[in-house]
Chain A
Amino acid sequence: MDQLFDEIKRAVQDGDDEAVKHLVNEGLLKKLAPRVILENAMMPAMQEVGEKFSRNEAFISELLVAAEAMNAGVSMLEMHSERAIRDRGKVILGTVEGDIHTIGKNLVRICLEGAGYEVKDLGENIKAQKFVDAYIEQKPEVLGLSALLSSTALCMEDVIKEVRKVIPSARIIVGGAPITQAFAEKIGASGYASNAFEAVQLVERLLK
């Protein structure tokens, strides 16, 4: 079975959707549980790409195509699973009001999904109230806020205040180019990550 897992890993990392679907199907025909395929092949594949990305040995396009290939495989696994396959916890992500930059947030989403988390991506230019509403409705384990501009980073504090008015214990993490650990502490965030892979590690620490 290890050989099949290795082949799936390689196909995910190569961004080869068709090969992933074929190999996942092969695994399912061999009566492997969807979760076994996810945890032994697909998540390790994305973890490796994420680690390489954090060491600047892989670049954004590698992450994008690997994520697409993983999603192709996950869709197949979900058809054979009675419940959501990504069940390590739910994370809501969004870029704060006035800021429409997507890439940092999207890389965090890819890495979190790759690690088995369910992600609800609210998108960009999200007002504080929308974060509050989504938090109440979705009941995530973690809320992640992104900003690229120093001016919009200031909006993060408002979001944290508004969400904590409703859920004082809300775990809220922040990231983006102008954000520092000191800034995150100053605005009362639960944590800060400087890149997408660190964001996964941060979520894992917060959920321990």
Chain B
Amino acid sequence: MDEIMNMTGKERLMTALSLGEPDRVPVWELAFNEESIIKLGRLFTDDVPTLKLVHQMTLDEKLKLLDVMYMITRELELDGLTSIYLFDRETVDDDHIKDRWGRIYYVDREGDAIPVKGPISIPGDLHNLNIVHPSETEFLMLMVSIEKLGKDIAHVFYMTGPFRDSWALLGSIEKLLYCYKKKPDFVKDLARIATDYILEVVDRAAALGADVIALSSDLAFNQSTFMSPAQYEEFILPYHKEITAFIRQKGMKTIKHSDGNMWPIMDYMVEAGFDGLHPIQPQCMDIAEVKAKYGKKLCLLGNIDCEHLLPFGSEEEVEKAVKETVAVAAPGGGYIISSSNTIHPGCKAENYFAMVKAARKYGKYPIQIS
């Protein structure tokens, strides 16, 4: 018992991803926006950088922001840290950036980059597509995180998945979904290009020491999945399988992130080979029901509401939500607590702290919540 109570953060997170019971429920976040890091950091130090979005920062400013993130990680004893794949991008104008594929993104006020224009419109454009390969600078955050925090915490590497990378090449999710019906071979060509690139990125992340790959790309919205189950099976599942098999071969685990109502394709999440599913958005999915149906096959991550509770709720309400969620999702293991997406600038810093504190209070195994 003593031995298991002394788990490192990495052991804790990896145990949960293997569907086991660690000593306590691991605490982790998929991401913190720039403003959130600064707000949280101010609770520990005055030495925080001026607020800018990452694409507007110099290298020194980026490193300073990361130092604040590492301090938060140490102070709160988080069990894992997510390092983001920082695609090399050039500035187009105040609101837009362009990556090396030629994909143009709008950067919203929270710093999220959303593809708005791609280098490809029709299948014939594939012949002129400049195939790029990962560059070393794009792994900067992972390299620095491992160096600064060591290997006692889990290093999660966050990158886009084949669905997102495919539609980003077209510049619009609707264009890809339209092609599902009208140009299925074109869709598969795009997925092939995206997957080849993803495998290269995974390979490098593994070599640098990542423990977990988190694949972004929302597959769903509040109402349902973007694609039908049959479309998922035909156009995405084979690529997800290929990616998870490669990640497994490299000794890492895989988390699939998708907002929204994932019920129509939940069986496929298991078949695809994902170890964990994040964030079980509480507006669309009941985590108790997900736990009952998939708790023995998938590690569940998230579910603490960041849409209303963390931005507008009280610390007492946060504690209550954590207690209730841990009670239904943690017994038996295979649960990692996090917000229901990311700690975005709207979330109150004190509510995030309340969430972490409550996770420690109620998350000790064996779970004993009446």
A62: B residues at CB distance < 8 A:
181, 228
A99 to B224, alpha carbons, bound, how many Å?
21
Cβ contact of B108, chosen from A59, A100, A106, cutoff 8 A: A100
Chain B nearest CB from A184 CB (Å) reads: 14
Chain B nearest CB from A2 CB (Å) reads: 27
- Is B137 at the interface (CB under 8 A from chain A)? no
Chain A 180-208 against B: per-residue CB contact (8 Å), 1 yes, 0 no? 00000000000000110000000000000
B181 touching A98, Cβ below 8 Å: no
B222: A residues at CB distance < 8 A:
177, 194
- Is B365 at the interface (CB under 8 A from chain A)? no
Chain A 4-19 against B: per-residue CB contact (8 Å), 1 yes, 0 no? 0000000000010000
Cβ contact of B174, chosen from A102, A149, A150, cutoff 8 A: A102
Beta-carbon nearest neighbor of A97 in chain B:
B109
A98 to B95, alpha carbons, bound, how many Å?
10
Cβ contact of B178, chosen from A56, A64, A101, A102, cutoff 8 A: A64
Chain B 199-243 against A: per-residue CB contact (8 Å), 1 yes, 0 no? 000000000000000000000011111111001000000000000
- Is B141 at the interface (CB under 8 A from chain A)? no
Asked, given contacts A102-B174, A151-B344, A151-B346, whether A15 binds B182 with beta carbons under 8 Å apart, the answer is yes
* Total chain B interface residues with beta-carbon distance under 8 A: 32
A125 to B307, alpha carbons, bound, how many Å?
21
- Is A104 at the interface (CB under 8 A from chain B)? yes
Beta-carbon nearest neighbor of A14 in chain B:
B181
A151 touching B110, Cβ below 8 Å: yes
Cβ contact of A60, chosen from B174, B308, B311, B345, cutoff 8 A: B174
Question: Which residues A103-158 have CB closer than 8 A to chain B?
Answer: 103-104, 106, 125, 149-152
- Is A23 at the interface (CB under 8 A from chain B)? no
Cβ contact of A65, chosen from B178, B259, B283, cutoff 8 A: B178
A178: B residues at CB distance < 8 A:
307
- Is B114 at the interface (CB under 8 A from chain A)? yes
- Is B180 at the interface (CB under 8 A from chain A)? yes
Question: Which residues B295-336 have CB closer than 8 A to chain A?
Answer: 307-308, 311
- Is A61 at the interface (CB under 8 A from chain B)? yes
Cβ contact of A151, chosen from B182, B227, B345, cutoff 8 A: B345
B181 touching A64, Cβ below 8 Å: yes
A-B contact count (CB 8 A): 73
B344: A residues at CB distance < 8 A:
150-151
Chain B 171-190 against A: per-residue CB contact (8 Å), 1 yes, 0 no? 01110011011100000000
A103 touching B108, Cβ below 8 Å: no
Chain A 57-97 against B: per-residue CB contact (8 Å), 1 yes, 0 no? 00111101100100000000000000000000000000000
Beta-carbon nearest neighbor of B178 in chain A:
A64
B226: A residues at CB distance < 8 A:
59-60
Chain A nearest CB from B11 CB (Å) reads: 35
Cβ contact of B307, chosen from A60, A61, A99, A150, cutoff 8 A: A150
B311 touching A150, Cβ below 8 Å: yes
A100: B residues at CB distance < 8 A:
106, 108, 114, 116
Beyond A100-B106, A125-B106, list 13 extra A-B contacts (CB 8 Å): A15-B181, A59-B177, A59-B227, A61-B177, A62-B228, A65-B181, A65-B182, A100-B108, A100-B114, A150-B308, A152-B108, A177-B222, A194-B223
Q: Which residue numbers of B lie inside 8 Å of A, CB to CB? A: 106, 108-110, 114, 116, 172-174, 177-178, 180-182, 221-228, 231, 259, 264, 283, 307-308, 311, 344-346
